[in-house]
Structure 1
Amino acid sequence: MRITGTGIGRGIAVGPVARMNEALPEPPDDPSKLGEDAERKRATAALDAVSAELKARGDAAGGSAKDVLEAQSMMAADPSLVEELDTRLAAGKTAERGVWEAFASFRDVLAGMGGYLGERAADLDDIAQRVVARLRGVPAPGIPDPGHPFVLVAHDLAPADTALLDLDRVVALVTAEGGPTSHTAILAREKSLVAVVGATGADGLEDGVQVIVDAAAGAVTVDPDGDALAEAARRGEELRAEAGAPLRPGALADGTAVPLLANLGSPDGAAEAVRQGAEGVGLFRTEFLFLDAAEAPSVEAQQAEYRRLFQAFPGERVVVRVLDAGADKPLAFLNHDEEPNPALGRRGIRALFAAPEVLADQLGAIAGAAKETDACVEVMAPMVATADEARRFVEAARKAGLSSAGVMVEVPAAALLAGHVLDAADFASIGTNDLTQYTMAADRLLGGVAELQDPWDPAVLELVRSVGDAGRTRGKHVGICGEAAADPLLAVVLVGLGATSLSMSPAALADVRASLARFRAEDARTLAEAALAAEDGATARAAASKAAEGVRGASTGA
């Protein structure tokens, strides 16, 4: 039997299944026998303990996991949620029932909002389980420990569990839910953990059954035969040999250079990116300086952080994205009005044009830090939809003293008219996450439409080709900086569509580097054409995979 889903990376692993421990049942709605004050003390102690535990886990994990778990820790202590809980305790509920109902109420509200807040709904479920377990004095549902290495199988995995997986025991991860941009996928990629997410049928796997988890194929083979096990062992040896090879610049088999850059959310990740062989930074997200701030940080504070990043990449290209606020990242000093559909409202460059002093200060800080270092600093604007927006941003960057200013292509309009946009800008960088959600009208963080949030969809690939063609005819750089670049096979397709560089989380660099080295430029174009001819994302991936086997066979004389 074979189960398919979305593979994370190119790894392969073999082991027996161990299923995630079952969730706690819903607490009974019995009246409290302890009284309101006693129940409140119990609930407060449990909430405080879980909040502290989540923060400690984040501090221990570091990286992206730290940000995710700190956010969960803050949710456990949210005053609005505590107020909701108090209302239920005052009505005579037990602490267990009050916590359950309060979290469920918030969960339903967030789930209905979609976007970033919609994704937080699943986090609330996890926190509620941990608090109720603490109140009952039982272990929280979590990672099993069968006493030997195993393949962890779960319906989905909470960030708190993914962050601290014991990689000496967990050889692979399989989930029934999730997509390539889910927290589970991002954290698995960061840990270089073999994973297949969104695997329909994974809920039916039984403890103890042996499986092969093949991330490159996005497949889980159940109870494999001897030949399949031998092939998995051969693939594993090949991948280990590749991992031990010296770092080299990204390139195709024919020598065509494809610089491999890092996506970073703060200067703290620079050292790891360099260690993984990043040839620069293709996307530096600057939101960490602005989130939770009552007012924009000073030019001096911004310049110090930019300088810290630039110093880690002397002589290398570093692309800084100016503040991408709005939608899932509202800021009090930038987004004043409530919007019924913020994903389609004043976000990204639109919000900055409405607050020109914020944009001018940020560009000035970037330019100041660039003058103090040897990095090749460039800036780009998020959510550009028109050539006029591109032109206005480039003018602002030039005024600040920055010589290279480009645009993020995340809106289909900008892709369809990429020629006009690139006439106004110095380069383009395609954000495949948002481009996919806007093309498919499917919120990239809403689980109910996850099957539509597929960067392999030919409609998305056609838009990438449109930008690639415009860049080629104008001699301008076209990069990819969405999660799609971290998919080793899709990376080859993107190059075939005209991408000239790829930027991704540092942990994905090795797999993508090895994948590119297997194909020539003409092979990449062959894979791209095969994917474009498909009718949906699943068949596009399958078509590209089949084409890849064909060109490999031809190149080896098979």
Structure 2
Amino acid sequence: MSLRGVGASQGVGHGPVFVLTAEVPEPPEGATYTGDADQEKARARAALDEVAGVLEGRGRQAGGAAEDVLNAQAMMARDPGLLVGVEALIDHGTAAERAVYEAFGRYRSMLVGTGGYMGERAADLDDVRDRTVALLTGHPMHGVPLDAPEPFVLVARDLAPADTALLSKEVVTAFVTERGGPTSHTAILARAMGVPAVVACAGATSLAPGTLVLVDGSTGEVRVGPTDAEVAGATGAEAARQEKLAAVRGPGRTADGHSVPLLANVGGPGDLDAALAHGAEGVGLFRTEFLFLGRKAAPTQDEQVAAYRPVLEAFPGATVVVRTLDAGADKPLAFLPAREREPNPALGERGLRMSRRFPEVLADQLAALERAVAGTAARLHVMAPMVATAEEAAWFTEACRTAGLAAAGVMIEIPAAAIRARDLAEHVDFFSIGTNDLAQYLFAADREMAELSALHDAWQPALLDLVAAAAGAGRPCGVCGEAAADPALACVLVGLGATALSMSASALPAVRAALAGHTTEQCRLAAAAARSAKDAATARQAARAHLPGLADLAL
């Protein structure tokens, strides 16, 4: 018997199932309190602050990508807008635990409605809510065992960062969730740990605790009750694959010597060790929003310089691509108030649109970047998120030039920008394609909905058409979405004209080996075959027919 989901982190893992099913009960609707409203507010504030402290403490213990994720989650607990909502409900007589539940529920609905990166943070918000309600009601929070007698496969409806941050591949051999997508925090942390993961796997939590399973993070298959021979075969093949991947070293290039720089996606200095260990040639996406989330005022230039400089110093002579603050309706910040509640925040004022409303915040960030790169040997490239038109691209480039920054580019994550990329190319120095959001907007499909995961398959021919349009517009064009982490698709992206690929650090060896095993012409033929297909599955199959080296590498 097998279950099928979406492979989110490559590799093979096996072991007994540990099912994380405990949930904090919903506080009764209409629950009230006796006593003083100020005391009830103080109780709520204290619980939220304690939860934030616990999350930050776990982040410090975990370090790396997990620390960035948990710090962002702690910021949710300290979000002033959420606290205002909680206190308003308390003023109307609602008990603190119910006020937290309702205020977080309203915010959750907004996040889910936005889709995209923040839409996938709903599980993180639920975790903060549950931890706070548990503190206020005295209900225990059941977690993942860190001292299990043997490694296990962690199965859950969804996983919050606090559930996984302190785990290691010595404790957990794979993750399987019923919800989520390839850009959820489960997937991000699994890739950072180098642990296989399958998401959107229906029926996973119905498995009995202790059931032996074999998880394939590449195919998305979860085999229930595998035989010893099946486990030995799968693990042996995975070990052989890793040995072959490790044998390919050096900069990214095709078999005929065509250079394709392989870069890492990072969220801050905590991700540098993994990037360097896996041979990243630079940074293709430095997400800066973690520095801004949950604050009442924007970080100072000095704070920003301190966060940016270590990343720039880590890659002397290499390219470091920094994305400016991607904030707005879907990532509300207290110091960047929205005009009004937007009926569809995913289509509202976010990214560059918000920067144009608050140019002083962008100007401070650009000035901080100019200061941070001074004295380093890094080649700093700065790009704007959510750019739709040539006029927006020109405005951003002018802002960069004013700040003394030489290389200005834009994210291609809105279909209009891909279709008219040649117009944008007149005003910028480079493009970077964000395939995650580009797919969401192209197919009108929320990234958070497991039921729509097929539309987020980066092999969709329509998505490849947009990549080709942007890559053929006459500017250096990298890909920083998770599509670049698929070894076969990485070859196709190069065939479409991508000039650099950026991904989670753990994906770099497989992509490096896949490119080294094929010529540029093979990549072009694979790309043409994929675009000629009618659906994602056929596109994948058609491309692989031109990429025989993948089979030799067991990719």
Shorter-chain TM-score tier: 0.7 to 0.9
For residue 320 of structure 2, what is the aligned residue in structure 1?
318
Question: Is 1:406 aligned with 2:409?
Answer: yes
Give the aligned partner of residue 83 of structure 1.
87
Question: Is 1:431 aligned with 2:434?
Answer: yes
Residue 128 of structure 1 and its aligned partner are, at CA, apart by 4.2
Counterpart position of 2:5: 5
Shift of 1:523: 3.3
CA distance in 2, matches of 1:75, 1:222: 37
2:138 equivalent to 1:140: no
Residue 489 (structure 2) pairs with residue 494 (structure 1): no
Alignment match, 1:478: 477
Residue 186 of structure 1, CA deviation:
0.9
Residue 171 of structure 1 deviates from its aligned partner by 0.7
**Equivalent position SS for 1:337:** coil
Residue 18 of structure 1 corresponds to 18
Deviation of 1:195 after TM superposition, in Å, equals 0.8
Structure 2 CA distance for partners of 1:58 and 1:430, relative to 1, 3 Å: same
TM-score (norm 2): 0.84
Is the contact between residue 179 and residue 201 of structure 2 (CA under 8 Å) also seen in structure 1?
yes
2:524 is the counterpart of 1:525: yes
Match of 1:465 in 2: 468
* Cα distance change of structure 1 residues 529 and 3 upon mapping to structure 2, 3 Å threshold: farther
| Aligned mates of 1:550, 1:536 — CA distance in 2 | 21
Name 2:177's counterpart in structure 1.
Answer: 175
For the Cα contact (< 8 Å) 2:112–2:448, is it kept in 1? Answer: no
Q: SS in structure 1 opposite 2:213?
A: strand
Structure 2 runs not aligned, ≥5 long = none
- Going from structure 1 to structure 2, the CA distance change for 1:136 and 1:409 (only over 3 Å counts) comes to closer
* Aligned partner (choices 156, 162, 172) of residue 158 of structure 2: 156
C-alpha distance in structure 1 between counterparts of 2:131 and 2:359, whole Å: 45
* Distance in structure 1 (CA, Å) of the matches to 2:19 and 2:546: 34
SS in 1 for 2:510: helix
Matches within 5 A, 1:26-175: 26=26, 49-76=50-77, 79-80=83-84, 82-83=86-87, 86=90, 90=93, 104=105, 107-108=108-109, 111=112, 118-131=119-132, 133-134=134-135, 139-143=140-144, 147-175=149-177
Tell me the distance in 1 between the aligned counterparts of 2:305 and 2:201.
45
Contact 1:456 1:537 in 2 (8 A): yes
Distance in structure 1 (CA, Å) of the matches to 2:305 and 2:73: 30
Of the three residues 422, 425, 429, the one matched with 1:422 is 425
Kindly report which structure 2 residues correspond to 1:151-300, keeping only aligned pairs within 5 A, or say none. 151-225=153-227, 228-242=230-244, 245=247, 247-292=249-294
Distance 1:297 1:343 in 2: 25
User: How far apart are residue 103 of structure 1 and its match?
Assistant: 5.0
Q: Distance in 1 between matches of 2:446 and 2:106?
A: 22
Using the TM superposition, name which of 167-176 and 219-228 deviates more. Answer: 219-228
Distance 1:298 1:47 in 2: 25
Structure 2 CA distance for partners of 1:298 and 1:37, relative to 1, 3 Å? closer
Query: Aligned equivalents of 2:66 and 2:124: distance in 1?
Result: 13
- Secondary structure at 1:3 match in 2: strand
Matches of 2:201 and 2:272 in 1, distance apart? 33
Contact 2:383 2:410 in 1 (8 A): yes
Q: Tell me the distance in 2 between the aligned counterparts of 1:321 and 1:339.
A: 26
Under a length normalisation based on structure 1, what TM-score does the superposition of the two structures give?
A: 0.84
Matching residue of 2:383: 380
What's the RMSD between the two structures over aligned residues?
A: 3.7
Hey, what does 1:349 align to over in structure 2? 352
Read off the aligned partner of 1:417 and give its amino acid letter. R
Contact 1:194 1:214 in 2 (8 A): yes
Deviation at 1:241, TM superposition (A): 2.0
Do the aligned residues in 1 keep the contact of 2:179 with 2:199 (CA within 8 Å)? yes
Mapped to 2, the partners of 1:461 and 1:48 lie a distance apart of: 45
Residues 533 and 230 (structure 1 numbering): CA distance in 2 closer, same or farther, change over 3 Å?
Answer: farther
Asked whether the equivalents of residues 522 and 547 of structure 2 are also in contact (C-alpha less than 8 Å), the reply is no
* CA distance in structure 2 between the aligned counterparts of 1:439 and 1:273, rounded to whole angstroms: 31
Task: Report the alpha carbon displacement of residue 485 of structure 1 after superposing the two structures with TM.
Answer: 1.7
Question: Higher mean Cα deviation, 377-386 or 405-414?
Answer: 377-386
The more displaced of 199-208 and 532-541 is: 532-541
Distance 1:477 1:509, change over 3 A: same
Cα pair distance change 1:382/1:163, threshold 3 Å = same
Report 1:302-313 matches (<5 A).
302-303=304-305, 305-313=307-315
Q: Is 1:547 aligned with 2:545?
A: yes
Mapped to 2, the partners of 1:31 and 1:376 lie a distance apart of: 57
Query: More deviation in 506-515 or 292-301?
Result: 292-301
Deviates more, 1:296-305 or 1:522-531: 296-305
* 1:172 partner SS: strand
1:412–1:439 Cα contact (<8 Å) kept? yes
* Number of aligned residues: 546
Query: Within 5 Å, which residues of 2 pair with 1:358-373?
Result: 358-373=361-376
Query: Does the 8 Å contact 1:84/1:102 carry over to 2?
Result: no
Which amino acid letter does the alignment assign opposite residue 14 of structure 1?
A: H
Indicate if the aligned counterparts of 1:335 and 1:351 stay in contact, CA closer than 8 A: no
Following the alignment from structure 2 to structure 1, what is the Cα–Cα distance between the partners of residues 85 and 337? 24
Q: Distance in 2 between matches of 1:497 and 1:414?
A: 17
Give the structure with higher Rg (CA): 1
- Residue 53 of structure 2 aligns to a residue in which SS? helix
Shifted more, 378-387 versus 530-539: the winner is 530-539
Residue 239 of structure 1: how far off its partner (Å):
3.6
The one-letter amino acid of 1:388's match is E
Q: Distance in 1 between matches of 2:88 and 2:148?
A: 39
1:180 CA drift (Å): 0.7
Partners of 1:301 and 1:76 lie apart in 2 by 22
SS in 1 for 2:218: coil
User: How big is the shift at 1:441?
Assistant: 1.9
- Offset from partner CA, 1:281-300 (integer Å, 9 cap, x none): 11223334544555655556
Partners of 1:378 and 1:106 in 2: how far apart? 34
Corresponding residue SS for 1:528: helix
43-52 or 254-263, which moves further after superposition? Answer: 43-52
Q: Secondary structure at the match of 1:502?
A: strand
**Closer, same or farther: CA 270–123 of 1 in aligned 2, 3 Å:** closer
